Structure 1
C-alpha cells in the first residue's frame, strides 16, 4: 500500500465527571504531567484534559472529557475495556503497588500476562487501568517522564501500553485491524479472568504498538459513563499520510468523519464493526504551539478558531487551578 503503516497507539480519550478530582489523581497520584488544559472541540462547554509524559509525545497521552452529568458506566462488550500504561521495568511495579496502598487506590496483585509483569488498578471513578512493565520491550520506544513529577523518574509512567478491546464478534474487529489498518497478528493467550485474547501489533510493535482483543459473547454492550473510555487513536506520521488514509477509507466505503482539524494534531474518526470508535491522528504539530514547555497545562489553551469566543467559554467552565 502507498500509505505508511500506523506507528502505534497515539492517545486514549476517556470520560470523567469531575475534572478537579481527575486532575488530582492523574498528576498527584499517578505523576503524569498535565500538558494541555483545553476544551472538547465538539462541545466547548466542557474541559478536555491531556495527561502525558514531559511534553505530550505521541503515544503517551491519556485524555479526559469532563462530563459532569455523566452517569455510571455499565461495563460490557463492544468497548475499550482497559487502558494500560507503561513503566520502565518489573521493579517499578513493586514501587507502584506500595504507592497504591499508601494512596488508597484500588488495585490487584502483580501478575504476568503475555510474558510481561502487570498490575491492574482503578481510579476513583472505576476507570480500568493496567500498569505494564517494559522490562523486555524492544518495540515502540517509550516517552520520557517529567522530572518535576511527584513520582521518581526511574519508576515513572512513560506512555500508553497495549489497548484492550472486548468484543462479541472477534472476526469482524480482526478484519479491520488486519485488512484495513495493516496490523499483524502476533499471538494469543488466556488472561487472568480465563478469557481468550488475541494480540495484534503495528509499527515497531511491543507495548506501544499493540491492541489486545478479548472475545466475550456473554455480555451486554457497555453503556458509557464516567470511568469509561470514549475512543482510541493510532499514530499517523503527518498530514499528508492522514489524507491518504482518508481517501482509502472513502474507497472502502467505510463511514468516517473525513479530515478533522484539532490544532494539536489532525484527525480522522470511524467506528469498527463492533461499534468501537477509532481515530487516526498525526504525530504533530504537538502541544507547544500555544504554550512553552515550562508552562504546559497551566492556563486554558484554546485553538485559534475558538479564541474569539474565549470570554463566553471561560464563563461556562468551572475554574480549575493547574499551576505547577
Structure 2
C-alpha cells in the first residue's frame, strides 16, 4: 500500500522572467496555449449602453462585416454605414435569420464576422411577448412562480446568443438606459441610472462580454466666427459673428459602467478610459485604441 511519502511531487513548469512556459507534450494538440494573446477586435463580444440618440447605433453600423439585427428600425438615417442591417419583424423572423447565419458558418461561407442586436431591450421585449403568447398569458411576469417567467426569458435570450458564439460570430448588444427615482436611507429622493434590460439578463450578457461601454453626447455652445478682410493688410481674418453661436455636439465612448465604476475591458487594462468618436468610422477609432493598448502590453512598437 502506498503512503504519502511514496507519492511523487506535482510536476513544476520552470520559467525565467519574461519567458513563456513550455507547453507539455500532448497538450498543444488539445488546444493549450501560453502567453498574452488577446483576441483581435473583430472577435470581441461587446455590451454598449447609453441614452437614445447618443451614438450606439451609429457605432454599431460603422463596423465592417457586421449583420445588424435592427429591432428598433432606427438605422436608416445613419451616415455612411459599413454594416448590413435587417429590420426584425418578429421572433420567427429573428430565428430564421439566426438559422441562416449558423448554416453559413457551418459551410464556411460566412459573409459576416459579427452580429449586432440593436437593441437588446427591444429584442427581450419582443421575445417576452412571444413567450407570453406561447404560454397563453397576458404578461411574462404571471408565468410560474418566483420569477420563473423572467428566468425563461433570460435563458431563451442567452441561448440564441451562445448559438452565435458557438458558430464563430462575435456579437454586440446595444441597450438603452433609463432613469429611476429611488429613496435613500435618509428619505431623500434621487435619480438612479440603470440599464433598460432587466438585471439578471444584463448580468448574463455582461459575463460573456469582453467590453462594457457607455455612449453619451456632450453639447456646448461655441461662438460663431466669420471671415473678413483686414482693413489695413487686406488679409482674411476670423472675427466673432455678432451674438451668433453654434451648438457643437461631441460623441464619447466611455469605459466606465453606469455606476461610475470602471467598466469591463478584458485583456487591456491600460486602454484609454474615454475617447471621442466621429460620426463616421467610429469602429476604426475603437479598433486603433484597442490595438495600441495590446501592443503596449506586448512591448511592441505602436
TM-score, normalised to structure 2, is: 0.28
Structure 1 or 2, whichever has the larger Rg, is 2
Name the structure with the higher helix share. 2
TM-score, normalised to structure 1, is: 0.27
